[in-house]
């Protein structure tokens, strides 16, 4: 159904079709409005021939989630965690709604409820996954959705990036706690993270063949950005890796032979023991060691491109989130420069 009417010295045309959102546009002349109506109706008719709108009545949101979990998720590096997240989605009431009935309001309510339970960052990731599911359905599975229902759902404001760095005696407390545990690789893992700024997953994937001890270089084949990089190693980092290579028998053997979950549990046990010595450690995350490492690189005088080459950051804005130099150290440097100028 189409309609054309004059409004505020312009001709407003509108086209309605079942299964599609109304389309409207304003023109200077009635002839242009009529021409646009004919073109729009032809376009919507072609879409109706290509797609079966009745599929929206037969398909539920849960059907899309299940197909995405089975066909798309397995090819991702974080498949395990994403699968668990989708399983939680499938238990939501809105998962049983058909695509003909689903609307942004259902996900707006989901967002508001989740914000009372978890942090904004978690909700943003959940909405991002749902958006991806609907986009794949629209673009690759020929599901006749006129728009992505998540596109109009306002995302919560992300929390300010953490500025956590190691405080006095925290590292010593962690290393002491490691000695009481059974994971002999954790002590090296903690120190190595501070020396390189590598992520936990990157550290766990380090193999004997990736290390060039002569040149002091380490190749990181699997990264968060899917772009391999080669980083220079400090003398301390080289010594730490030598401790791990003593037990290696093949070039492809990993220097930290454990799973991500086992590493996480070992870290949490270590942190609990360390918090008995230094209470502030209870707030420390393993990823904060990457923050500490990047900040130390800058304090050593490395430039932004040099630090980015080590850390793997592609966006300088993200890099600066990890860079919180100690004001006392900056003040000392400024005074030294001032005194040198006066001299």
Tell me the β-bridge partners of 317.
Answer: none
Give dist(CA 161, CA 177) in Å, integer.
Answer: 28
Question: Taking a C-beta distance cutoff of 8 angstroms, is the pair 12, 33 a contact?
Answer: yes
Residues with Cβ within 8 Å of residue 262, at least 6 apart in sequence: 183
The active-site residue out of 17, 165, 271, 322 is 322
The active-site residue out of 224, 314, 333, 335 is 224
DSSP secondary structure, 107-163, as one string: HHHHHHHHHTTS-HHHHHHHHHHHHHHHHHHHHTS----SS-TTTTSPPPPPPPPP-
Is 273 tagged catalytic? no
DSSP reduced 3-state for 286: coil
Q: What are phi and psi of 88, to 5 degrees?
A: -70, -40
Give dist(CA 302, CA 163) in Å, integer.
Answer: 20
- Cα–Cα distances in angstroms (integers) from residue 76 to residues 136, 150, 173, in the given order: 14, 22, 37
- Cα–Cα distances in angstroms (integers) from residue 245 to residues 98, 146, 210, 336, in the given order: 56, 56, 11, 42
The active-site residue out of 17, 244, 290, 296 is 290
Question: Taking a C-beta distance cutoff of 8 angstroms, is the pair 191, 240 a contact?
Answer: yes
Question: Taking a C-beta distance cutoff of 8 angstroms, is the pair 289, 190 a contact?
Answer: yes
Question: Taking a C-beta distance cutoff of 8 angstroms, is the pair 27, 10 a contact?
Answer: yes
Is 287 tagged catalytic? yes
Closest CA to 284 of 164, 152, 133, 148: 164
Tell me the β-bridge partners of 4.
Answer: 13
The active-site residue out of 17, 23, 110, 199 is 199
Question: Taking a C-beta distance cutoff of 8 angstroms, is the pair 134, 64 a contact?
Answer: yes
The active-site residue out of 114, 162, 254, 287 is 287
Closest CA to 293 of 218, 207, 172, 190: 190
Is 290 tagged catalytic? yes
Residues marked as catalytic: 199, 224, 287, 290, 313, 322
């Amino acid at each position: 159904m189409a309609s054309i009417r004059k409004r505020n010295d312009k001709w407003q045309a509108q086209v309605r079709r079942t299964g599609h959102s109304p389309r409207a546009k304003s023109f200077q002349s009635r002839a242009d409005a009529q021409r646009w109506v004919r073109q729009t109706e032809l376009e919507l008719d072609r879409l109706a021939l290509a797609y079966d709108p009745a599929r929206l009545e037969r398909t539920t949101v849960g059907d899309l989630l299940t197909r995405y979990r089975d066909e798309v998720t397995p090819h991702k590096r974080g498949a395990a965690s994403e699968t668990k997240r989708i399983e939680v989605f499938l238990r939501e009431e809105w998962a049983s709604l058909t695509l003909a009935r689903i609307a942004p309001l259902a996900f707006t309510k989901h967002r508001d409820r989740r914000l009372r339970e978890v942090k904004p960052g978690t909700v943003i990731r959940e909405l991002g996954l749902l958006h991806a599911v609907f986009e794949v359905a629209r673009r690759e599975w020929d599901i006749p959705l006129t728009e992505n229902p998540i596109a109009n759902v306002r995302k919560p404001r992300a929390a300010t990036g953490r500025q956590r760095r190691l405080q006095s005696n925290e590292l010593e407390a962690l290393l002491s706690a490691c000695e009481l545990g059974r994971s002999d690789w954790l002590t090296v893992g903690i120190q190595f993270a501070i020396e390189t700024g590598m992520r936990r997953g990157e550290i766990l994937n380090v193999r004997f063949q990736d290390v060039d001890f002569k040149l002091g270089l380490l190749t990181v084949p699997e990264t968060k950005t899917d772009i391999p990089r080669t980083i220079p190693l400090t003398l301390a980092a080289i010594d730490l890796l030598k401790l791990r290579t003593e037990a290696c028998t093949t070039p492809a053997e990993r220097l930290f032979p454990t799973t991500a979950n086992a590493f996480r549990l070992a870290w949490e046990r270590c942190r609990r023991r360390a918090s008995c010595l230094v209470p502030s450690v209870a707030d420390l995350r393993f990823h904060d060691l990457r923050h500490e490492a990047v900040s130390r690189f800058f304090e050593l005088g490395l430039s932004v491109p040099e630090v980015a080459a080590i850390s793997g950051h592609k966006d300088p804005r993200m890099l600066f989130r990890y860079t919180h130099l100690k004001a006392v150290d900056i003040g000392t440097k400024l005074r030294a420069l001032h005194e040198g100028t006066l001299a």
